[in-house]
Amino acid sequence: MDKIIASAVAKAVKALYDVEVDASSIVPQTTKKEFEGNLTIVVFPWVKAARKSPEAVGTEIGQWLVDNEPAVNRFNVIKGFLNIVIEPTFWNSVLTSISQADNYGITPVTEDSPLVMVEYSSPNTNKPLHLGHVRNNLLGFSLSEILKACGNRVVKTNIVNDRGIHICKSMLAWQKWGEGVTPEKAGKKGDHLIGDFYVLFDKHFKAEVNELMAKGMSEDDAKNTSHLMLEAREMLRRWENKDPEVRQLWEMMNEWVYAGFDETYKRMGVDFDKIYYESDTYLEGKEKVLEGLEKGIMYRKEDNSVWADLTDAGLDHKLLLRSDGTSVYMTQDIGTAKLRYQDYPIDKMIYVVGNEQDYHFKVLSLLLDRLGFKWGKDLVHFSYGMVELPEGKMKSREGTVVDADDLMEEMVSSAREVSKELGKLDGCSAEEADAICETVGLGALKYFLLKVDPRKNMTFNPKESIDFNGNTGPFIQYTYARIRSVMRKAAEASFAIGDFSAVEPNEKEISLIQRLADFPAVVAEAGRTYSPALIANYVYDLVKEYNQFYHDYSIMREENEAVRSLRLCLSESTANVIATGMKLLGINVPERM
């Protein structure tokens, strides 16, 4: 509908004022509820050419549309805003086109589509995934699905931080106090077991530091002379030198963690096309930095460390290689970029990383550009805010994080409890009830985290998220299940969707059709602004609109066959858009509830 009106307005401006206008530059807006109309056009751009007041220009264009465009019924003008009322029966053709479209709202991907790489997750192999990782994974996966829906080829990648002092802490703790325990012996997922040893290291380290401080040593000196920390650093040096014993232990413990991660990712419903490992990329980064040094892009200090001078871009001097030749995190990112560019002809690179790394990615973008990566200058740091619980922040070293596996299990358990109370599981088999609770629990978690503008910090409230009323996943899922129930009953009654072209839809039906017609534009905008929240809140508004219609008008008891057909088509189209929108968020919808 927007395209029809935009094209007609462009013709009107040409006919009335002899001004050529690109129809794509005309963006009709949904008319505000306090005014009569369906779509609103801002006429100020043509006032100068017309040499008339905004009201006069709006009136002339409006009258031209009434005379020449069959879709326009009438109009009114408020200052420079032309409010257009669409011919009621014309909405029927809009609904028909929506219902008949394959993958409505989705732009097909071709071999020539831009290739976008999205990096998300980026876990450390010394602990299980936690609530912060959940937000990262859900944002990254949803963003990937939205970009695909906008016609891009997408490669989903993960960089696993599998080396460094934090990894050695867990390894050393297992050596000292593990007594040969394995995930099988402990009856634990591997990532949880390793996370326990990371916490155990910190507990012993703090005890040692406190003991040294009690003997009169400063806190910094105590930390630097801690035997435990010195042992961890020695283990890291042995790892760097490829000591067989250390490498064997490292590989064994990492395999435990990877198996645990895979289980968590599978339940969360996220996946990756390619996984990179820091242990493979950091040496590539060193090589690229040394290449930059030869070309004069970097410089070496007297202590042998290598730096980049970024002051000409308003940044500072950035360390890339320490005096002993070891790399920093930035070096690893450069190495990963090099490998990715070798593997894929990337057009755009998007990093899904928290906003505390904003400066890091400004530096990385500049360095990659200077090192010759064509997408470096335009890389996107999808910077998102932190997520906390009502109780406050979480700390991995102290074991106070909210574990992703525990959180998902709690959400499914809560969904079961609430669903039972509300009678949502009545008549379901045990297997059906389990599937519904899994879908609703994880849907509640995902929707609550994705409906918030990703750039904002947020508080995740599990109890609030599982509510079957309000702006929640379960509310949307229940509405979808309700519509599917209506469609099943219609099929049982042999009510097919017939011709409704002559029906004049009522105000609520028109409003719902118009909301459905907005879906492709919402998907496009979500892709342009990298915001899954736009999809989430659109689906919620659509569901609210449908529920008002469902409350006010009968579907199955409607005796007029054509009217009933319109309402069945409207219901089925709404269900399809809900399912598509929720799929873009990585959320499943239940057929029954």
We report the CATH number of the domain holding residue 74 as 3.30.1360.70
Label residue 371 by pLDDT band (50, 70, 90).
Answer: very high
The reported pLDDT for the residue numbered 48 is 93
Distances (CA, A) of 45 to 42, 57, 227: 8, 10, 73
What pTM does this model have? 0.90
Mean pLDDT over all residues of the chain? 93
Distance CA 136, CA 5 (A): 40
For residue 69, tell me if it sits in a domain: yes
What would the 3-class secondary structure string for 287-309 be? HHHHHHHHCCCCEECCCCCEEEE
For residue 208, tell me if it sits in a domain: no
Label residue 428 by pLDDT band (50, 70, 90).
Answer: confident
Q: How far is CA 414 from the centre of its chain?
A: 24
For residue 359, tell me if it sits in a domain: no
Amino acid at 269: G
Buried b (16+ CB within 10 A) or exposed e, 449-462: bbbbebeeebebeb
For residue 335, tell me if it sits in a domain: no
The reported pLDDT for the residue numbered 400 is 53
Distance CA 591, CA 353 (A): 35
Q: pLDDT of 17-31, one tens digit each?
A: 999 999 989 999 999
The reported pLDDT for the residue numbered 479 is 96
Per-residue tokens: 5: 């009106």
Per the CB < 8 A criterion, the answer to whether 340 and 157 are in contact is: yes
Domain final position from 51, 86, 121: 86
Distance CA 381, CA 85 (A): 42
Per-residue pLDDT at 96 exceeds 50: yes
Per-residue pLDDT at 163 exceeds 70: yes
Per the CB < 8 A criterion, the answer to whether 502 and 561 are in contact is: no
Domain final position from 55, 70, 86: 86
With CA atoms as reference, report the closest residue to 13 among 55, 53, 58: 58
Label residue 396 by pLDDT band (50, 70, 90).
Answer: very low
Higher pLDDT, 332 or 396: 332
Per-residue pLDDT at 191 exceeds 50: yes
- CATH code, 462: 1.10.730.10
For residue 437, tell me if it sits in a domain: yes
Per-residue tokens: 384: 């998102």
For residue 45, tell me if it sits in a domain: yes
Domain final position from 22, 52, 86: 86
- Angle among Cα 414, 418, 419 to the nearest 5 degrees reads 110
What pairs with residue 155 in β-bridges?
Answer: 117
The reported pLDDT for the residue numbered 394 is 41
Per-residue pLDDT at 152 exceeds 60: yes
Q: What are the DSSP E strand ranges found in 317-388?
A: 317-321, 348-354, 380-384, 387-388
Range of the domain at 412: 405-584
Per-residue pLDDT at 397 exceeds 80: no
For residue 441, tell me if it sits in a domain: yes
Average pLDDT of span 317-321: 94
Per-residue pLDDT at 392 exceeds 70: no
Label residue 583 by pLDDT band (50, 70, 90).
Answer: very high
The reported pLDDT for the residue numbered 324 is 82
Per-residue tokens: 414: 């809560």
Count of domains in the chain?
A: 2
> What strand order describes the sheet that includes 317-321?
299-300, 306-309, 317-321
For residue 198, tell me if it sits in a domain: no
Distance CA 135, CA 354 (A): 10
